A and B are shown apart, each in its own frame.
Chain A
């Protein structure tokens, strides 16, 4: 039997597949389709210090081979998430990763320390790359000094392993990755969405109410692969790879480029069963290409 296990800081995963933050809510809706215990992990929707109502609609637009979104980090706030959502996910045999967002260093610290007190959360994904909120997020994700600063603060605020989710909307991605590694990050999560825009022809105005949105889906996969391949050569902490994954072949490509685990985003909207189907197809896909385990595939294209 093919060994799909991967062991990362704080995460002993039965397989490398997890839904990406923001594309899976807190799992409830998808639990009507399949057993969430099948997933390697679940990355929860972003949590902020207080509840956020997000942007005006329209918040999504389809593009060629992908979609734009500008939800604006709508969430009930970290305390309600711990009270109402974590216990639901904890019923399943899967690792829970909490996505930590904020507008200020203090807010990031508060969210991280609050999750630290919660049972059942295995790791934090530090969201310094949301392109859809006016304040916070992206400012920490585009400046290596700020990125290192917030990583240090969150590491101090919590004992949980921290995976920093990096923004592709920068000139020098590798130096961002190195800066957060040096600041103590346990891993990287990459890539977040790429800022884009669509003009609505009937109204001749940007379609999204936020004007810009984050591009995801198959359109961004080659960008993610390239960035992971480059970062893998320069940092030694593990990478959770994401960006347009929609089948088991894509997962293998991410592993070969240097990802140790993968997250599936927009494809959950196209097909709510996608994570489950990818997990089913992964063994035969690895076998087809002569790979003996998930562990064997990691970084094989790089080294």
Chain B
């Protein structure tokens, strides 16, 4: 259930170019969040909240971690929020990943840019359940790379940069051929990347997480819809998603 909560900022630090990692404390949100969900964050002076995906959940410390990239005034303002301040948050919002794998199975995580964070909370949870995790992470260039070490702790990790300044050169799909044997893939990133992942891995079971400009963030305003193979013909990203079976929505 979504609640409107105050979250205390425990830490905020830059982890890559234009990219901030923020740890937020709140009992209800940390106890109820699952990988794939997001927080809808209010910022003073802004009409619309900012949807930011959850990158890590720590029930012992009662924290969740978010990562976001400065893309406009909202995220610029959020990056200036410092330790000790309180954020007005709606969450946990949306539905998490279908964690359908069992011990001994292998999960392939494919993240692009600011689509990488939700892959981390999922990978960590799967790793705790003794599910093999293989990650393919794409970034624009070297200065945008983050969480490489953290993903390596979970399993084999391939880093790709568009300009080749770090790791392999190209797109995530260029290294997918190197990954052999997995049971389900999970992907989050820009739509062109998700399309090309879907095509490259055609016939494989997969889940994708979508992002879109949102209004209410609770399913009432119909701002963030995606065409779908259903009777109604659409799904709401904020409340039916943001995670969907790859065959359910039309990219």
Q: Could you tell me which A residues sit within 8 Å of B by CB distance?
A: 22-25, 28-30, 32-33, 45, 51, 53-54, 57-63, 65-67, 69, 71, 74, 76, 217-218, 266-273
The 6 A-B residue pairs whose C-beta atoms are closest, nearest first, are A25-B220, A29-B220, A60-B223, A29-B218, A58-B213, A62-B48
Interface residues as binary, B208-251 with A (CB distance below 8 Å gives 1, 0 otherwise): 00001111111111111111000011100001000000000000
Query: B48 to A271, Cβ gap below 8 A?
Result: no
Residue of B nearest to A268 (CB): B216
**How many interface contacts (CB-CB < 8 Å) are there between A and B?**
96
Supply 25 A–B pairs (Cβ within 8 Å), ascending by A.
A24-B220, A25-B220, A25-B221, A28-B219, A29-B220, A30-B218, A32-B218, A53-B233, A57-B212, A57-B226, A58-B223, A59-B215, A59-B223, A60-B48, A61-B213, A62-B47, A63-B47, A65-B47, A69-B223, A74-B225, A74-B234, A76-B232, A270-B48, A272-B90, A272-B218
Kindly state whether residue B177 has any CB partner on chain A within 8 Å. Answer: no
Residues of A within 8 Å of B232, CB to CB, are 51, 76
Query: B49 to A29, Cβ gap below 8 A?
Result: no
Q: How far is the CB of B234 from chain A (nearest CB, A)?
A: 6
Interface residues as binary, B124-140 with A (CB distance below 8 Å gives 1, 0 otherwise): 00000000000000000
Task: Report the Cα distance A53→B222, complex, angstroms.
Answer: 10
Q: Could you tell me which B residues sit within 8 Å of A by CB distance?
A: 1-2, 4, 42, 46-49, 74, 90, 212-227, 232-234, 239
Task: Report the Cα distance A74→B226, complex, angstroms.
Answer: 12
Residues of A within 8 Å of B42, CB to CB, are 270-271
Query: A59 to B213, Cβ gap below 8 A?
Result: yes
Residue of A nearest to B214 (CB): A60
Residue of B nearest to A72 (CB): B222
Residues of A within 8 Å of B227, CB to CB, are 53
Task: Report the Cα distance A66→B215, complex, angstroms.
Answer: 11
Question: With A29-B220, A268-B216 as given contacts, are A62 and B74 in contact (CB-CB < 8 Å)?
Answer: yes
Residues of B within 8 Å of A24, CB to CB, are 220
Q: Is the interface of B mostly helix, strand, loop or mixed?
A: loop
Residues of B within 8 Å of A33, CB to CB, are 4
Query: B225 to A269, Cβ gap below 8 A?
Result: no
Question: With A25-B219, A57-B224, A62-B74 as given contacts, are A32 and B49 in contact (CB-CB < 8 Å)?
Answer: no
Residue of A nearest to B220 (CB): A25
Query: B4 to A272, Cβ gap below 8 A?
Result: yes
Residue of A nearest to B226 (CB): A57
Residues of A within 8 Å of B215, CB to CB, are 59-60, 67, 69, 269
Question: With A53-B234, A58-B213, A270-B42 as given contacts, are A23 and B220 in contact (CB-CB < 8 Å)?
Answer: yes
Residues of A within 8 Å of B2, CB to CB, are 32
Q: How far is the CB of A245 from chain B (nearest CB, A)?
A: 13
Task: Report the Cα distance A267→B221, complex, angstroms.
Answer: 12
Task: Report the Cα distance A33→B1, complex, angstroms.
Answer: 10
